[in-house]
């Protein structure tokens, strides 16, 4: 495996195989599988789960990792192409990335959306530019429009808990948040659930539609898997019979990058906070999912988050096992 940038680059049976390997590594540790191997971790955006779970994953497989973030360089990293660097930044990303990659057997890169231009972010333009600078196996640790490690972990979590795939109803719901957030997790999640064969409903207030390209990609996956994808602002119909309510806030795209306009649009939507009533018409054992970090009392109530429906800690823990499978596949001994 040379890249893990997008679940859509894999066939469903390859994902199933990855998940089987993740489960195997969870149950039967292989503490020497990657001995002497190095994972380079480049964080252009902040992190907690990703930072911890990748380091832990490499240790569990007998290898190691190192972490670089821009503030470790002298005066930060320049990213603009063709610029005369007579300002503050003393190093350009065009050197920094190949150098960092040169020390690793694989590299993980995190670069959140810049949220200046919607088309650029939907095309994952910045991440794709960074990808061009790497000549070793690459892992997407969350880009403008994707978060495949989260999606693989979420898929594993649903498998672990025997949440139905075909026939399972997956509701991805927008939630209130004081700030406009990136599209990466909703885009990855709707596609993942569709690829898993679930009946996916995107529930969101008017004005927070997901962009066409995201919906189209998810529908394509659903067509292949026997799932379905629809979008609605009707909470009652969406939640009826749900096996999973996956909450996530995201920014409106009609005023993309325009913070005041986005804030105007979300005024009055504070009731998009998932509470127990959201589960009244769901399936038995309907689960609550979220990628974390989550704002308590804003996105979800304490009662739901601390109750038995919530599987957010399992999702986070499965980040480690999912990534161990990816790393083992990329760097491990050839079978």
Smallest gap from Cβ 222 to a copy of itself, in A, equals 30
Smallest gap from Cβ 89 to a copy of itself, in A, equals 8
Smallest gap from Cβ 238 to a copy of itself, in A, equals 25
Nearer residue to a copy of itself within complex by CB, 47 or 201: 47
Smallest gap from Cβ 156 to a copy of itself, in A, equals 13
Smallest gap from Cβ 104 to a copy of itself, in A, equals 7
Nearer residue to a copy of itself within complex by CB, 215 or 327: 327
Nearer residue to a copy of itself within complex by CB, 46 or 268: 46
3-state DSSP of the chain: CCEECCHHHCCHHHHHHHHHHHHHHHHCCCCCCCCCCEEEEEECCCCCHHHHHHHHHHHHCCCEEEEECHHHCCCCEECCCCCCCCCCCCEEHHHHHHHHHHCCCEEEEECCCCCCCHHHHHCCHHHHHHHHCCCCCEEECCCCCCCHHHHHHHHHHHHHCCCCCCCCEEEEEECCCCCCCCCHHHHHHHHHHHHCCCEEEEECCCCCCCCHHHHHHHHHHHHHHCCEEEEECCHHHHHCCCCEEEEECCCCCCCCCCHHHHHHHHCCCCCCCECHHHHCCCCCCCEEECCCCCCECCCECHHHHHCCCECHHHHHHHHHHHHHHHHHHHHCCCC
Smallest gap from Cβ 136 to a copy of itself, in A, equals 11
Nearer residue to a copy of itself within complex by CB, 18 or 316: 316
Nearer residue to a copy of itself within complex by CB, 104 or 148: 104
Nearer residue to a copy of itself within complex by CB, 43 or 208: 43
Q: Can you give the binding site for a copy of itself, defined by CB under 8 A?
A: 29-32, 35-38, 40, 46-49, 51-53, 55-56, 58-66, 68, 72-74, 78, 82-86, 90-92, 94-96, 98-100, 102-104, 178, 292-298, 302, 305-306, 312-313, 316-317, 320
């Amino acid at each position: 495996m040379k890249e893990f940038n997008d679940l859509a680059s894999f066939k469903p049976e390859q994902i199933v195989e990855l998940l089987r390997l993740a489960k195997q590594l969870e149950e039967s540790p292989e503490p020497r599988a990657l001995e002497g191997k190095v994972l380079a971790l480049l964080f252009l955006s902040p992190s907690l789960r990703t930072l911890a779970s990748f380091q832990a994953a490499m240790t569990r497989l007998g290898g190691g990792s190192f972490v670089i973030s821009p503030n470790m360089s002298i005066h930060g990293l320049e990213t603009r192409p063709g610029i005369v660097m007579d300002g503050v930044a003393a190093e350009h990303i065009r050197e920094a990335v190949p150098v960092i990659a040169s020390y690793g057997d694989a590299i993980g890169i995190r670069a959140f959306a810049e949220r200046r231009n919607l088309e650029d972010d939907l095309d994952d333009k910045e991440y794709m530019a960074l990808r061009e600078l790497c000549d070793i196996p690459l892992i997407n640790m969350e880009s403008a429009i994707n978060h495949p490690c989260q999606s693989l972990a979420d898929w594993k979590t649903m498998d672990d808990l025997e949440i139905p795939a075909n026939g399972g109803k997956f509701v991805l719901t927008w939630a209130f948040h004081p700030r406009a957030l990136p599209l990466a997790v909703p885009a990855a999640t709707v596609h993942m659930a569709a690829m898993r064969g679930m009946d996916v409903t995107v529930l969101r207030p008017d004005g927070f539609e997901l962009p066409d390209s995201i919906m189209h990609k998810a529908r394509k996956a659903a067509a292949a898997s026997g799932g379905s994808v629809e979008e609605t602002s009707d909470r009652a119909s969406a939640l009826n019979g749900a096996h999973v309510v996956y909450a996530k806030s995201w920014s409106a795209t009609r005023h993309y990058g325009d913070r005041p306009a986005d804030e105007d649009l979300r005024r009055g939507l504070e009731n998009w906070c998932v509470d127990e009533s959201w589960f009244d018409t769901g399936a038995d054992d309907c689960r609550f999912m979220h990628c974390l970090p989550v704002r308590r009392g804003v996105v979800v109530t304490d009662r739901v988050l601390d109750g038995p429906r919530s599987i957010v800690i399992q999702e986070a823990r499965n980040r480690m096992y999912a990534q161990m499978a990816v790393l083992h596949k990329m760097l491990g001994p050839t079978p």
